[in-house]
Amino acid sequence: MKRIMIDYMKCDGCKNCTAACMQAHREEQGTIYDLDLTDPKNESRNHILSDGRGGYRPIFCRHCDLPECVMSCMSGALSKDSVTGVVSYDVNKCGSCFMCVMNCPYGVLKPDTLTRTKVIKCDFCMEKGGEPSCVKNCPKKAIWVEEVQA
Ligand code: SF4
Ligand code: SF4
């Protein structure tokens, strides 16, 4: 299975990966400048934190081997694909209890900003052929995809 690897020392906080993730999930054509920020679907699935000392911490879903989010979801909205390894979210099954948000050990998951009824979850860009847009748009090569053993 594939995983996005991170070298935080190379990250300069440009947030190209965050913008690329937002663009990757929009349904209509356009640029980042006309992206509808009131549509939860357009929220970024990754985020970049400042470490407070001039450095940055890219926060990306690990698509864990034993995902705490899946194990804590009572409504079956989160599942792990045994072939691809991708942990997916089904908005139609979500009961908005946010147990997954509380249990993700990496602090990746969050409720959507506008309605706070949906979970913003990385889908490994599977609708784009499983080629993560964030990785393609990182100018520092601080994130990359690697094949790992499950
Ligand atoms: S959301 Fe968190 S717990 Fe779930 S697979 Fe991703 S990193 Fe692991
Ligand atoms: S793999 Fe796709 S969905 Fe996941 S953080 Fe990167 S751009 Fe967003």
Task: Assign 126 to helix, strand or coil.
Answer: helix
Tell me, in angstroms, the distance from the centre of ligand 2 to residue 126's CA. 9
DSSP label of 75: S
| Residues in Cβ contact with 98 at an 8 Å cutoff, skipping those fewer than 6 apart | 111, 119
Most informative mutation of 64, 65, 101 for ligand 1 (most atoms within 8 A of CB): 64
Instruction: Read off the pLDDT of residues 23-76 as tens digits, 9 standing for 90 and up.
Output: 999 999 999 999 999 999 999 999 999 999 999 999 999 999 999 999 999 999
* CATH number for the domain harbouring residue 100: 3.30.70.20
133 CB under 6 A from ligand 2?
yes
CA 123 vs CA 10, 22, 127: distances in Å: 24, 12, 8
When divided into structural domains, the chain yields a total of 1
143: containing domain:
2-147
Rounded to whole angstroms, how far apart are CA atoms 5 and 61? 10
- Residue 64 CA to ligand 1 center (angstroms) comes to 6
Note the pTM of the prediction, 2 decimals. Answer: 0.92
Span 72-130, pLDDT tens digits: 999 999 999 999 999 999 999 999 999 999 999 999 999 999 999 999 999 999 999 99
Cα–Cα distances in Å, from 38 out to 22, 24, 29, 35, 119?
12, 16, 16, 9, 15
Secondary structure of residue 71 in the 3-state scheme: helix
